[in-house]
């Protein structure tokens, strides 16, 4: 790859004005692309969720900011709204701003979406420099169906909210991909088993690192899976087996509310008038959700 363009002073020229979304390695330092490294050295400003980690990343990668460039600027969930006008002013003044996450592709599971949206709405240039993305690595190497898939980011911490989120995606026919902390992994997979039933899963840890590992199993046999793991975790849960509905997969121990949400979502995708959908849901859950009537389901559909 050719080196960065040279300015008349002999140093690398700055990037053209705009917002640059720069993907960084998720583990293996060798995955930083030459284009990404070049952009990070030449941008006027580099934004990061944790500026201290960003500085350490630059040192480990041997990246040197060009002379005259500004330092790091923080962007996290608590200050994104206030940063937006500041970044837009920088770009409008002719400067380039590079955004990185702690690891991987920015915006997709980190702050930055609102900033990108604001720049787009204002007609300011936004450029994505593609690179490592943990869900893509997990999907491609897990052996589970890679398409369609739904990326859920981090599941909600509250159990009920996590159940509802999984239930909404139970009948889509897509593999589900999400991040989880190691200390919550077993609990989350047990919750998923209650909502989704006995599906295949892959726990993907330390992706691209020396001790990369894929733990494969079924949600219906979690006791046999070695889930006491270390490191960062990406989880892939495959779609329900062909011909299986929520009645066959959710199991007797499923939370009734989550089970109702799952069956309701599946029947809504089949279509039909609300009363017909309500009737099908009530019939499928007869004896499983005590006391459920067609009217109860119909009232839920009208909300």
Predicted pLDDT of residue 175? 95
Q: How confident is residue 112, by pLDDT bands cut at 50, 70 and 90?
A: very high
Predicted pLDDT of residue 12? 66
Predicted pLDDT of residue 254? 55
For 75, the token pair is: 């962007």
pLDDT reading at 300 higher than 90: no
pLDDT reading at 42 higher than 80: yes
Phi, psi (deg, nearest 5) at residue 258: -65, -40
Predicted pLDDT of residue 267? 74
pLDDT reading at 25 higher than 90: yes
**CATH number, span 135-302:** 3.30.950.10
Q: Which residue did the predictor score with more confidence, 294 or 132?
A: 132
3-state secondary structure 90-157: HHHCCCEEEEECCCECCCCCCCCHHHHHHHHHCCCCEEEECCCCHHHHHHHHHCCCCCCEEEEEECCC
pLDDT reading at 251 higher than 60: no
Q: Which residue did the predictor score with more confidence, 16 or 290?
A: 16
- For the chain, the average pLDDT equals 87
Q: Which residues contact 27 (CB under 8 A, 6 or more apart)?
A: 103, 206, 207, 208, 209, 212
Predicted pLDDT of residue 288? 64
CATH class of the region 18-132? alpha beta
Each residue's pLDDT tens digit, 224-237: 888 888 878 999 99
Predicted pLDDT of residue 69? 83
Question: Where do the domains of the chain lie?
Answer: 18-132, 135-302
Q: How confident is residue 258, by pLDDT bands cut at 50, 70 and 90?
A: confident
How far apart CA 143 and CA 68 sit, in angstroms, is 48
Predicted pLDDT of residue 241? 65
**Taking the model in full, what pTM does it have?**
0.74
Q: How many CB atoms neighbour CB 292 within 10 A?
A: 18
Predicted pLDDT of residue 9? 43
89-93 LR contacts (CB < 8 Å, sep 24+):
90/44, 90/45, 91/17, 91/18, 91/19, 91/119, 91/124, 91/125, 92/17, 92/124, 93/17
Q: Read off the pLDDT of each residue in 194-222 and give the average, rounded to a whole number.
A: 93
Predicted pLDDT of residue 225? 86
pLDDT reading at 80 higher than 80: yes
Bond from prior residue into 148 cis (ω within 30 degrees of 0)? yes
pLDDT reading at 276 higher than 80: yes
Check: CB of residue 40 under 8 Å from CB of residue 108: no
Q: How confident is residue 204, by pLDDT bands cut at 50, 70 and 90?
A: very high
Predicted pLDDT of residue 297? 85
Q: Which residue did the predictor score with more confidence, 89 or 110?
A: 89
Residue 129's Cβ-count burial label (10 Å; 0-12, 13-18, 19+) is buried
Q: Read off the pLDDT of each residue in 147-172 and give the average, rounded to a whole number.
A: 92
Predicted pLDDT of residue 286? 65
């Amino acid at each position: 790859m050719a080196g960065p363009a040279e300015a008349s002073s002999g140093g690398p020229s700055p990037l053209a004005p705009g917002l640059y979304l720069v993907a960084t390695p998720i583990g293996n330092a060798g995955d930083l692309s030459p284009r990404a490294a070049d952009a990070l050295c030449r941008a006027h400003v580099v934004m990061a969720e944790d500026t201290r980690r960003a500085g350490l990343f630059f040192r480990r990668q041997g990246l040197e900011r060009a002379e005259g460039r500004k330092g790091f600027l923080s962007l996290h969930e608590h200050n994104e709204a206030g940063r937006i006008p500041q970044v837009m002013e920088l770009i409008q003044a002719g400067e380039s701003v590079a955004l990185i996450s702690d690891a991987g592709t920015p915006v997709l599971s980190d702050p930055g979406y609102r900033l990108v949206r604001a720049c787009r709405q204002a007609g300011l240039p936004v450029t994505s420099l593609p690179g490592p993305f943990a869900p893509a690595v997990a999907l491609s190497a897990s052996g589970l169906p890679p398409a369609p898939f739904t990326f859920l980011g981090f599941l909600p911490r509250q159990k009920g909210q996590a159940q509802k989120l999984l239930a909404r995606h139970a009948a889509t026919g897509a593999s589900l991909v999400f991040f989880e902390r190691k200390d919550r992994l077993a609990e989350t997979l047990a919750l998923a088993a209650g909502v989704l039933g006995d599906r295949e899963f892959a726990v993907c840890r330390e992706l691209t690192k020396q001790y990369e590992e894929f733990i494969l199993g079924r949600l219906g046999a979690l006791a046999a899976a070695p889930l006491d793991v270390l490191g960062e975790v990406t989880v892939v849960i495959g779609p329900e087996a062909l011909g299986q509905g929520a009645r066959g997969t959710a199991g007797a121990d499923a939370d009734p509310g989550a089970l109702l949400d799952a069956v309701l979502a599946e029947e809504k995708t089949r279509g039909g008038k609300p009363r017909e959908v309500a009737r099908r849901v009530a019939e499928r859950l007869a004896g499983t959700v005590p006391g459920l009537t067609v009217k109860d389901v119909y009232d839920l559909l009208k909300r």
